[in-house]
A and B are shown apart, each in its own frame.
Chain A
Amino acid sequence: MFRRVNDGVPAGGPFTHQRVIYALVCLGWKSFPLFPGLKLPSLPGQVDELQCLRRWEAGLCSPSRDFHRQLATVREVTATSRHYVDRLFDPDPQNVLQGVIDMKNAVIGNNKQKANLIVLGAVPRLLYLLQQSSSSLELRTECAVVLGSLAMGTENNIKSLVDCHIIPALLQGLLCSDLIFIEACLRCLRTIFISPVTPVQLLYTDPTVIPHIMSLLSRSQHTQEYITQIFAHCCKTPEHQMVLFNHGAIQNIAPLLISPSYKVRMQALKCFSVLAYENAQVSMTLVNVLVDGEQLSQVFARMMQRDKPIEMQLTAAKCLTYMCRAGAIRTDDNCIILKTLPCLVRMCSKERLLEERVEGAETLAFLMEPDIELQRIASVTDHLVSMLADYFKYPSSVSAITDIKRLDHDLKHAHELRQAAFKLYASLGSNDEDIRKKITETENMMDRIVSGLSESSIKVRLAAVRCLHSLSRSVQQLRTSFHDHAVWKPLMKLLQNAPDEVLVMASSTLCNLLLEFSPSKEPILESGVIELLCSLTQSDSPALRVNGIWALMNMAFQADQKVKVEIVRALGTEQLFRLLSDPDTNVLMKTLGLLRNLLSTRPHIDQIMSSHGKQIMQAVTLILEGEHSIEVKEQTLCILANIADGNTAKELIMTNDDMPQKIKYYMGHSNVKLQLAATFCISNLIWNEEDGSQERQDKLREMGFVDILHKLTQASDPSLCDRAKTAMQQYLA
């Protein structure tokens, strides 16, 4: 950092060293050493001064009179700031104490003063005094208070403090027995840890810290408030959850839910929401916890009462949502269905703050994602579907004209609101056809999704495509609104260049758009989608491979010869066979599905088999011999049955030494589905009225198939029985 500054300063000039110092300050140089004899000319504390300086440095202007006047005022301020720092070095401890106390009074609410002191190197000295066992307890406490006050300033202040290793120093301070001192340290730690610039991990580096902090929970209402607030902010990963959980966070924090202090109750509640998030172990433990003889879910339900502060209602609803999603509470439990769900719907209402509406919608989307009953209830609760339409109206046209502050606020939240609404729509419409209809009928819904797909914010794009995906499960919507709004266009654009998570959703949506009844199928085909999909099948992500091959499978269903040939050409047999040995069963299944779709209608079968017959027969053999699930084998036998339906392709089976034996084996399999598919295959081979049917019948009779078929006519499964009888008739005719 220093070097960069040096580079930037032109050599020579009237104020060279001053400018270096200025620049250091500008760039956040924290504890500038106080060279003896070096008089600091002044220190800028305000942005405009810095800008002025930069402009001056860049040669854009000469130092104005105004600038000189500013220098003069800054000089005064700095003189007093330096005085405070100097007093920290006084040999008389009493003077030091008084100095710290004066400093405390000087910095309160004064960000400029805070920055000055930090620049002048007050922090290392304060930390030194705080850590010295020779310092009086009073001095150490005052030091912690001043540091806490410095931390209350800007984010830069926090960075400076963290860089001075304030966190280990304060954590060390917690080992002291004096409560007042502990509280001061915790308060400062709290302020530092709730800042987004502080690395959360610093709380967990020393494994003895968490158990010790946990033990301080019983000391006072203040320790409770600060500690729970620290935990609530520093629990960001499953590892953090487990560390806190293993050190008894639940048992220690649960009683705080009925603390007389609102702040403690609220922070304790927040702790539970971060602990339970996607954590089954924590959630399962929580349901069995009693607070003052009452179940925790009851306590949370009470915190959702409508006269409680919104923050509390929302956080309690989050706790219950996470517990429910982790399987600890059933979705049909009254506290979910009659309390949590309505509470979250209320959070989406226009009366709530924008932040609350975002959180409410996201939590609600998460809660009901897997449960159709909750989706149905939510869809009729308080006009939720039309209530969400309002999320797209920010910034409102009114705010732009009348109130700049409001506009700024609206702009900040506009993306968040839109993505939250899309998520909630996606969740609402994921199962029920009526709800999907209701959503698409909401004002301008499809237009909103279409424009959401091309928004600059990734979050919005992802949510929009999720929403589209959810709605694309509806046959009716695919036929109507999806086609009317040409959603495939932005979707295709999105697929060209997007992060994987967007690609997964977009390609999955595309799969649905390529279903044979979708009117969008034609234009998509014409837009050269095949290459794109083929490239997806080469992705490292199994989800993308599945979607790619799935889309191709849908595309091949009842497709023209031209399309089929194009698919085989673009994909290449090599890739096709690579996919047939894919470790992901889903990929394998869809690839088989693609093959099956390719091998339908006689001319197509013969055409493809004539060019790729050898490889396909190999692949089929390989799968039938390998360790695969029933579904995979069934699908493969179906392919074989299709091959058996071809005119020339039949011979590939008949001339294969092994294949009839394999079919025979599966006709006698214990699984009815496999028996059925294998019987189908034979039935196709011996079908009358086709060239060479007599020979094949004879050959297969020799191999003992008539006996097997005869046996199968006695099968208990009616469809198998029918199929066997039909096959037998071919012999009788």
Chain B
Amino acid sequence: MSGPSSGCGFLMSVVVHGDLALNEQEKELNQRLKRLYPAVNEQETPLPRSWSPKDKFSYIGLSQNNLRVHYKGHGKTPKDAASVRATHPIPAACGVYYFEVKIISKGRDGYMGIGLSAQGVNMNRLPGWDKHSYGYHGDDGHSFCSSGTGQPYGPTFTTGDVIGCCVNLINNTCFYTKNGHSLGIAFTDLPPNLYPTVGLQTPGEVVDANFGQHPFVFDIEDYMREWRTKIQAQIDRFPIGEREGEWQAMIQKMVASYLVHHSYCATAEAFAKSTDQAVHEELASIKNRQKIQKLVLSGRMGEAIETTQQLYPSLLERNQDLLFMLKVRQFIEMVNGTDSEVRCLGGRSPKSQDCYPGSPRLFNSPVHKASSSQTYQTGTAEVEMELDHFSNGVSESSSNGFLNGSSTHGIDLEECDGDMGEIIIWRQLCGGSQAAIERMIQFGRELQSMSEHLRRERGKNSANKKMLKDAFSLLAYSDPWSSPVGYQLDSIQREPVCSTLNSAILETHNLPKQPPLALSVGQAAQCLSLMARTGSGSCAFASVDDYLH
């Protein structure tokens, strides 16, 4: 748990200061927040990271990156009380949320309140005094639950103490901690979207907030562990189907339909047999889909399109967008050197194909095989050296991209280093063949005109436009694989194409375009994000991924 998590994708405000220490602190903050609240989607619901300079009463002063709060009013009467809210409300998807406040100085009287309040609650007050406002006060240790009179709650607190406030968004309660010790439930039935809030009332009062910038004094992760276990036990114990076997039969059906959907026909057959179920699709039809899928997944798009047109003649004609998508993928595969059209033109068979699970055995001539197996015999050290050489050469010669003539150079290189390792061949445009490149360029032009044609006939389609633009962008780089758009060349990108095509075929047979299994997984994920939006905190501890692995 304590290791640095890799996901620190949102280093947004960091670089502004350029301060190294601050940078470190931001990084630590991001890491800790990611670890504590993995279910929170910060695009939708950002976490509180500091006090808001806009959402405060004028008697409040902020410093130290808006983490330190000091009182700057007269502090004569309760009318001089002043509060500040955090920048954002607490997202429900936290499940359990926690922040700490250290009392730097109790000032004159130590009338400090720590707590929560909703947006719009009067800031000329201490937290807890008004509706939708909750606080724990240092001078008397009382808790204030939307009321001017407090209830005896905990000990008093003063200079040097660290007070923590924990909101449980599952049962909508709140408890406080003092110097790492839990003081017990203070509030129940809390409303959603509360902001961390502190209030001060006499001169000299200074407090520092910790929204995750530093390790917490209280072991909040231990508390979260308890709730994660509770929620998961709740899920595990969820009552399923009254009647015996009903549940099992449904699961079996889902599994079977999933297997059929993805055309694992042998497995589907065996599974159906052993669980005594009927398959709702002809075996031949499954096999056809399987064939097409295999072609797509191995990058042989041209053949895949052809086979689809043969087996399902009207499908692509009626669905021009799908055809366009397939063709764009074909273009990408051409760049990749995997499409059958370019491979026939003298490219080598990319070995990596065989690594792809479910890809068919190579049907090409054994010549390819021989050549590829030959290349394996080259020493690796040499290959690496050559690789350096090669990439140097390309980057020097092709500052303006491939189309401006560096191709010749590349091919020359390829020719003189004929015995180079597999890796290098794999990473050459269109498999390194000039003819293939020409074919690819021609294909690209066809694609362009198809796109224009589509636009004329059916109006603008931004998805299509972006798809084409991304695909063409590959040519703008000397080494498309390591370019920012290089991800398109990854074989994993074939999967969505494959499943879209598969779904389209199934739809023509009046079969569901998504298997119920995938549907329910999707539904569960959707449900969780809906829960996050509607304030059900338990979504924090029930990630779908936890159950898929």
- Listed in ascending order, the chain A residues whose CB lies under 8 Å from chain B are 305-307, 338-339, 342, 377, 380-383, 387
Contacts and interface: CB of A to CB of B under 8 A. Distances in A.
A377 B226 contact: no
B307 to A, nearest CB: 51
A353 to B, nearest CB: 16
A307 B178 contact: no
Contacts of A339: 219
Interface stretch (B180-188, B486-494, B527-535): B180-188
5 contacts: A307-B229, A380-B155, A381-B183, A382-B182, A387-B184
A377 B183 CA distance: 10
A380 B223 contact: no
Contacts of B225: 305-307
A338 B215 CA distance: 15
Contact of B223 (A306, A338, A377, A387): A306
A383 B152 CA distance: 11
A305 B1 CA distance: 14
Contacts of A342: 181-182
B444 interface: no
Contacts of B178: 380
Nearest to A434: B155
A382 B182 CA distance: 6
Interface string B213-256: 00000010011011011000000000000000000000000000
A380 B181 contact: yes
Interface string B167-185: 0000000000010111111
A305 B229 CA distance: 11
A567 to B, nearest CB: 45
A380 B226 contact: no
B154 interface: yes
B183 A338 contact: no
Interface string B316-351: 000000000000000000000000000000000000
Q: Which 7 A-B pairs have the closest CB atoms?
A: A306-B226, A383-B184, A307-B225, A382-B184, A307-B229, A380-B155, A306-B222
Interface in B130-155: 154-155
A377 B228 CA distance: 27
The A interface, classified by DSSP as helix, strand, loop or mixed, is: helix
Nearest to A338: B180
A307 B219 CA distance: 13
Nearest to A441: B152
B498 to A, nearest CB: 40
A381 B182 contact: yes
A306 B222 CA distance: 6
A382 B226 contact: no
A339 B182 CA distance: 11
B154 A380 contact: yes
Contacts of A382: 182-184
B166 to A, nearest CB: 12
Nearest to A309: B229
Nearest to B223: A306
Contacts of A307: 225-226, 228-229
A61 B155 CA distance: 70
A381 B183 CA distance: 5
Interface residues of B, number: 16
A339 B180 CA distance: 10
Contacts of B223: 306
Given A307-B228, A307-B229, A380 B183 contact: yes
Given A380-B181, A381-B183, 19 more contacts: A305-B222, A305-B225, A306-B225, A306-B226, A307-B225, A338-B180, A338-B219, A342-B181, A342-B182, A380-B154, A380-B155, A380-B178, A380-B183, A381-B181, A382-B182, A382-B183, A382-B184, A383-B183, A383-B185
Nearest to B153: A383
A383 B178 CA distance: 13
Contacts of B180: 338
Contacts of A377: 181
B531 to A, nearest CB: 22
Nearest to B179: A377
Contacts of B154: 380
Contacts of B228: 307
A342 B222 CA distance: 12
A381 B219 contact: no
Nearest to B218: A338
A377 B218 CA distance: 14
A342 B178 CA distance: 13
Contacts of A305: 222, 225
A342 B182 CA distance: 8
B140 to A, nearest CB: 14
A307 B224 CA distance: 9
A380 B223 CA distance: 18
Nearest to A304: B222
Contacts of B185: 383
A307 B182 CA distance: 17
A384 to B, nearest CB: 8
The CB with the most chain A CB atoms within 10 A, among B178, B183, B184, B226, is that of B184
Contacts of A381: 181-184
Contacts of A380: 154-155, 178, 181, 183
A490 B180 CA distance: 42
A306 B220 CA distance: 11
B541 to A, nearest CB: 11
B136 to A, nearest CB: 12
B331 to A, nearest CB: 52
A382 B154 CA distance: 9
A377 B184 CA distance: 13
Interface in B435-450: none
A390 to B, nearest CB: 13
A381 B176 CA distance: 10
Interface in B381-440: none
Contacts of B222: 305-306
A380 B181 CA distance: 8
A143 B416 CA distance: 82
Nearest to A343: B222
Contacts of A387: 184
Nearest to B186: A383
The CB with the most chain B CB atoms within 10 A, among A306, A338, A342, A387, is that of A306
The CB with the most chain B CB atoms within 10 A, among A305, A377, A380, is that of A380
A387 B154 CA distance: 14
A675 B226 CA distance: 65
B126 to A, nearest CB: 22
A307 B229 CA distance: 6
B228 to A, nearest CB: 7
Nearest to B217: A338
Interface in B172-216: 178, 180-185
A382 B166 CA distance: 13
Nearest to A377: B181
Nearest to B230: A307
Nearest to B183: A380
Interface in B7-44: none
Nearest to A383: B184
A347 to B, nearest CB: 13
Contacts of A338: 180-181, 219
A381 to B, nearest CB: 5
A341 to B, nearest CB: 8
Nearest to B154: A380
B8 to A, nearest CB: 26
A383 B176 CA distance: 11
A307 B223 CA distance: 8
A301 to B, nearest CB: 10
A507 to B, nearest CB: 35
A143 B185 CA distance: 57
A385 to B, nearest CB: 10
Contacts of B226: 306-307
Nearest to A378: B181
A377 B154 CA distance: 11
A476 B155 CA distance: 21
A306 B226 CA distance: 5
A330 B477 CA distance: 66
B427 to A, nearest CB: 45
